[in-house]
Structure formats: structure tokens, C-alpha cells
Amino acid sequence: MTEFKTVIADPKNKMTHQKILPEEKSNALVGKFVGEEIDGIFLDLPGYRLKITGGSDKSGVPMRGDIDGSQRRRLLMKDSVGFNPIRDGQRKRKLVRGRNLSSDISQVNLKVVEYGPKTIEELLKPEVA
């Protein structure tokens, strides 16, 4: 399969934390979808609940939560995820990916919904040998 780069947003501290999941742990996230809540134990964050808010694939194509499946699609978009118009009324056909996590995804964006007993900094800090 593949390893995921995860970006964990902490709304309470207004910080983000990055963690690269190895292949064996990222397999547990394959099949989940944008908007789903997962247990933090998958990311070595016991006691935490995380919500999948989006992501992107290997070539940078963003995921959208309103498209079923994991394939890419070209959509005609106004102001939306994946497109910010320059002029009023501007529309453009853009490439986006569906909401299901698959092996093609490289980055997963997560948001903390429920906090655990320890802080994220304590749990994600690198171990000194």
C-alpha cells in the first residue's frame, strides 16, 4: 500500500502537527471517508477522537466530501473546495478526487474533536535515543 502524511489540526491551541504514518498503520485508514470520525489510537493518540476533513493525492489533487468513491473527476466549479475564483461569476472545470481514502492518497487532513489525557505535543514528540 502506501504511507500517509497526516496533518492534525488542534482547534484549542490553534496549531497543526504533522505525522507520517507507516504502511502498516495507514492500512487501517484505507476505506474511511471525509467527514468520518476515527479513534486516535490509529495515530498513536490514545483517548483522542479525530475527524477526517480532507486530503490530497500524490499529484496534489484535493479530496471533496460530496463526491462518492475514490476516483478523480473533472467538475465545473464556482467558489468551492479546490477552486478560488478571481472574478465574480467565474467558473472553471477542475480535477478533484472523491471522499474515500485509498492507496492513491498521500496526505490526510484531520481535526481533533475530542481530547485525551495527554497533550498532542507529548504524544508526538520524537523519542531521544
Domain containing residue 53: 4-124
What integer pLDDT is reported at residue 44 of this predicted model? 86
**How do 105-114 and 4-10 pair as beta strands?**
parallel
Q: What is the pLDDT of residue 124?
A: 80
Range name among 28-32, 45-49, 81-85, 104-108 with the lowest pLDDT average: 81-85
* Residue 86 placed within a domain: yes
Query: Is residue 54 in some structural domain?
Result: yes
> Stretch 50-77: mean pLDDT, rounded?
91
The predicted model gives 81-94 an average pLDDT of 88
Alpha helices (H) in 52-125, listed in sequence order: 120-124
Has residue 129 been placed in a domain? no
Q: Is residue 73 part of a domain?
A: yes
Domain presence at residue 10: yes
Flag whether 52 is in a domain.
yes
First to last CA, the chain: 29
Q: Is the pTM of this model over 0.75?
A: yes
Domain total in the chain:
1
